[in-house]
Structures are given as C-alpha cells and as structure tokens.
Amino acid sequence: MKISDLLPLLPILLISGVVVLNLLIIAFYRNHLLTAALTGAGLIGACVSTVAVYSFAPRQVTHLIIIDGYSIFYMALVFAAGFVVTLLSYRYLELLEDDQEEYYVLLLLGTLGSSVIVASSHFASFFLGLEILSVSLYALIAYNRNDPLGIEAGVKYLVLAATSDAFLLFGIALIYADTGFLDFTQIAKSAGSGHVGLIIPGTGLLIVGLGFKLSLVPFHMWTPDVYEGAPTPITGFLASVSKGAVFALMLRYFTKVDIHTNNSLVLVFTVIAVASMFGGNLLALLQNHVKRVLAYSSIAHFGYLLTAFLASGSLAVTATSYYLVAYFVTILGAFGVIAALSGCRGEPDLLSSYRGLFWTRPMLGGVLAAMLLSLAGIPLTAGFVGKFYVMAAGIGSHLWFLVACITMSSVIGLFYYLRIISVMFSKIPEDFEETGLPDVSGIAAAGLALTVLTLFLVWLGIYPSSLIEVIHKMMSSCA
C-alpha cells in the first residue's frame, strides 16, 4: 500500500476521523447539538468528497477495496442516506431520557461499515464492513433501553445476524477451499473455468447469509419484529442503508461471477424473488401496525429488485441503481414521517392513530401519502420510474414470468398502501383530542429532511433523465 492510495479512500477515512473525534468530544463534553452537527457535517463532507475522489476512479486500493464509479455512487448514496437519518434522529432523540450522543457514533460506524461493503472487492473487506455495520446496529436497535420491544428487537437481530454471519463465513470458507482465493476477480476466473466443486454449496450458503441481511423470503422472519422495535430513524436506516449496501455488493459479486451462466443459481434467485414479492405483499395485507406494514413492503421491494438483478446487461445495472435511489428516498421519507409524529408517549404505531392525519397535519399526511404512493409505484413519484425501469430490464431480458409476478403482486400490495391512505383522509374521530407534538427542538431538521425527500421524490418521478445520466456515467467504468 502506497501513500497515494490513501487519497482515494478519503470518504472512508473522513468518516472514521469523525467517529474518533466524536468519541473524544463525548468523553470531555456532552452536547447533543454539537455531536449531531458534527455528524451531519462529517457525512456531508464525505458525500462531497466522493466527487473529488471520482477523478481517481477506477483505482484498486490493495486487494481489499476498489474505488470505481460503482462504489463511489453507492458510497455517496449511503452517506446521503446517513445524513437524512441524522436529521430525522435529532428530534426523536430529544424525546429520550438517556444520553443521546453515543447514538451518532454508532450511526457513523454503521455508515462506515456500509461504505466499506459497497467498495469491497474481496471477501475479507466485505466481511469486515458487514461486521462494523451489524455490531453498530445491535446497539442502535436496542438504543432505547426503557423500551422492552426495543431490547427484544436488538436481541433478535443479534442472534439472527450472528447466525447469518456464520452461514456467510462458512460459504466464504467453502469458496476459498475450492478456488484458493478471496478476491472476487480471481474467484470469477476460477469459477469460469468450468470446474464444479465446493463453490456450489459455498455460493448456496453465501446466498443464505445475504438473504438474511436483505430479509428475503424465506429468511425474513426477523424483519417485522426488528423494524417494529427499533427506534424509527434506525428502522429507516435498516431498511435503506444496510439493505442497499449489501445488495450493491451482491450485485457486484454475482455480476463478476456471472450467475447467468449458472441455471441453478438463476432458478434459486427466481424462486426467492417470487417468494419475496408475494410473501411480502400478502403478509402486509392484514397488518394493523404501520411499521410492520412497511417492513413487509420492503421485503416485497427487494423481490422486485431481484428481477433487475437477474436481468442482464447495462439496463439491469442502471435499473438496480435507479430503483435503489428511489427506494431510499421513499422508505426514508415514510419512516421519517413516523419518526416526526412520535411523541413522548411513543410512536404512532397502530393504523388507527393515523386517522384523519390529512386534516390534522396536512403536511405530514401529504408527505406520507406521497411516499406510500411511491412505494406502490404510482406515476409522478420516483417509485414509478423505479418500477418501470425494473420491469423494462426484466422484459429486456425476457424474464416475462418475473415481470408478470411483479405486476400481480404489486396489485395486491396496492391494497395495503391505499388502506393507510384511506385511514389518513377519513373523518376525524369525535373523541379526538388535539394533543399536539411535544415541544422539543429539532422539528426543523426533520422538516428539512422530509421536504428535501419529497422534492426528490417528485423530481425523480417527473424528470428522471438527470439521475439516469449520472448513473450511466458512474456505471460505465465498471460492470
């Protein structure tokens, strides 16, 4: 490793620096606003620095990390999402009685882990990144120590993530035993030589491990419980950053290894995709708990995304990237509204607490409705263009069956999105007492985040070509 290799790593180093700085500051002087501001500034700085790093791309930094257009794009996305989560968290944390500052350290660590994952070209760096992410999430999910649900969710996530890591490690070990490499490119070379051995069971175990992280059916059981118990901004983080980073890595690895030549792998992913679409959407139908509905919805969305994953060609990579951006904006916005609505007595979890939201809080109600319509894939929102792209990629690769499944399952999904929207605009109940939101600072930060997300949602929905342009440019260097 040379000194000049450090410069392309600037975003990752920057985040690590802010983590250390935050730890030092907390040790001497506790101040919520200061820590939050520093975290936000660090994430923005890292996001901006990705632009500077772009001039180095593509650059292999040691065997572990690759800085190319693909990783820079996803890093920027991860940092931006981390920034939004920071904005949404501030007010939410003000409601807690505990110390707030460590939360930001953990959040930064989670973002750091995710950015390492998207930039890794080697199983060692992937696993390290994944562990940084997971360990910070264990603590974040159970951050509210007074909430038994949160503790339960944290423990559940701990046990299941550890199990899935075991699968993952075993899979990696088998692949290593067969090929003698941990480096993606080398593995792809020896896998392409036509020899069949331990790499097949190894890949199978790898898929199990990744499936847990992406909460694909049948590895999804933990999702609703953890999403329900975690602090809402962290739920947003779980649904967006942690899943998106793992998906980006999966796409990179399996594009290198070229799954399209392996019919049994394609079959496995097809089955998982269909099961996730239908499983997610059907299970969400009769849920009365909004966070659980969104959890199931995110399961279904990764089923859709797998269709683009299975499609081949440049259209597939563009479709995946566009879809992930749209999905990030939407799911963060949806959880953001829930976070903004939570008061001292907890979060508005049941569907009935959203009754008449349109009339009592038109702005928040409107934003949530827009986000739900985007999840449902209705035009004028980013979700529509994303879904359109995924369907186009699927049909372009003749995956008619999967696209038909998307069509059918999203019609099913429409029902529960509309159910929430219908509740929001129904009449205000007679015994409704205007409680008002607790008076804590930080509502402006959440408001800013939600405004920006909504503007993005509409902009990406009406005029997607600018983002497509960016994606084309970034992805041209790889894939």
Residues within the interface to other proteins (CB under 8 A): 373, 378-380, 384, 388, 391-392, 395-396, 403-404, 407, 410-411, 414-415, 418-419, 421-422, 425-426, 463-465, 468-469, 472
- For the CB of residue 309, give the shortest distance to other proteins in the complex, in Å: 18
- For the CB of residue 51, give the shortest distance to other proteins in the complex, in Å: 22
- For the CB of residue 277, give the shortest distance to other proteins in the complex, in Å: 13
Beta carbon nearer to other proteins, 116 or 475? 475
Can you list the alpha helix ranges (DSSP code H) found in 95-183?
Answer: 101-119, 123-141, 148-179
Beta carbon nearer to other proteins, 17 or 356? 356
Radius of gyration (C-alpha) of the chain in whole angstroms = 21
- For the CB of residue 349, give the shortest distance to other proteins in the complex, in Å: 21
CA distances from 176 to 206, 257, 455 (A): 12, 14, 46
- For the CB of residue 374, give the shortest distance to other proteins in the complex, in Å: 11
- Give the list of residues 6+ apart from residue 126 with CB closer than 8 angstroms, or none: 116, 117, 120, 249
Beta carbon nearer to other proteins, 265 or 370? 370
The enclosing H or E element of 458 equals helix 443-462
- For the CB of residue 68, give the shortest distance to other proteins in the complex, in Å: 21
Beta carbon nearer to other proteins, 340 or 373? 373
Beta carbon nearer to other proteins, 444 or 455? 455
Q: Please choose, from the candidates 45, 48, 38, 136, the residue with its C-alpha nearest in 3D space to the C-alpha of residue 90.
A: 38
Beta carbon nearer to other proteins, 32 or 387? 387
- Give the list of residues 6+ apart from residue 423 with CB closer than 8 angstroms, or none: 351, 352, 354, 355
Alpha-carbon distance of 49 to 192, in angstroms, equals 36
Beta carbon nearer to other proteins, 98 or 469? 469
Q: Please choose, from the candidates 364, 365, 381, 361, the residue with its C-alpha nearest in 3D space to the C-alpha of residue 373.
A: 381
Give the largest CA-CA distance in the chain: 71
- For the CB of residue 299, give the shortest distance to other proteins in the complex, in Å: 20
Alpha-carbon distance of 143 to 210, in angstroms, equals 25
**N-term to C-term CA, the chain:** 25
- For the CB of residue 412, give the shortest distance to other proteins in the complex, in Å: 9
CA distances from 455 to 250, 359, 367 (A): 30, 21, 10
Residue with tokens 């659980």: 292
CA distances from 150 to 73, 225, 231, 443 (A): 33, 9, 7, 23
Beta carbon nearer to other proteins, 169 or 378? 378
